[in-house]
Amino acid sequence: MDTTAGTIGIRGTEYASTMGPDGLSVTTYVGLVEVCNTAGCAQVGPGQTLLVPDANTRPRLLPGSGQSRIAPTDALPQLPPAQITAPVVPQETHAPQQQPIQSPGYSPGKMY
C-alpha cells in the first residue's frame, strides 16, 4: 500500500493504518508489517504502533506501543467458534430404472 509518507508491506497480518495531520500511523494486531520510505524501513509487530511523519523521515515505533492503542473494529470481526459435526453420508435412493429411449425401427440386440 503506497501513501505520501511511505509504503506498507503486508506480511499476512491484521493491521490498521491512518493518514492524519501527524503523518502515517500503522498499528499491527497480528503478524508483521514493514513500512518503508526514502529514509528507511521499520517493522511493526503485534501490539506495536509506528509513526511516519513524512516521506523523508525514517519510520519510528511510538514509545510504549507494545499495547495496541486502537481496538479492532468491525473491520476485524470476531468469528464464531467452529462447530464440528459428523459428515453426512448421502443415502441411496431406489428410483425405478428408466428404459432408454428408442428410435423408430430400432430393436435392441438386433444386428443391422
Alpha carbon distance 92, 67 (integer Å): 57
pLDDT class of 24 with cuts at 50, 70, 90: very high
How confident is the model over 50-62, as a mean pLDDT? 91
Mean pLDDT of 16-26: 91
Query: For 9-18, 34-43, 64-73, which range has the lowest pLDDT when averaged over its residues?
Result: 64-73
pLDDT at 68: 45
Residue 96, amino acid: P
Residue 104 zone, left/alpha/beta (φ > 0; ψ -120 to 50; rest): beta
Task: For residues 14 and 37, give the distance between their C-alpha atoms in angstroms, rounded to a whole number.
Answer: 21
Higher model confidence: residue 109 or residue 48? Answer: 48
Instruction: Tell whether the model's pLDDT for residue 97 goes beyond 80.
Output: no
Residue 77 has what pLDDT? 58
Average pLDDT, the chain: 76
Quote the CA–CA distance of 90 and 78 in Å, as a whole number: 33
In angstroms, the CA 109 to CA 82 distance is: 57
The pLDDT assigned to 25 comes to 92
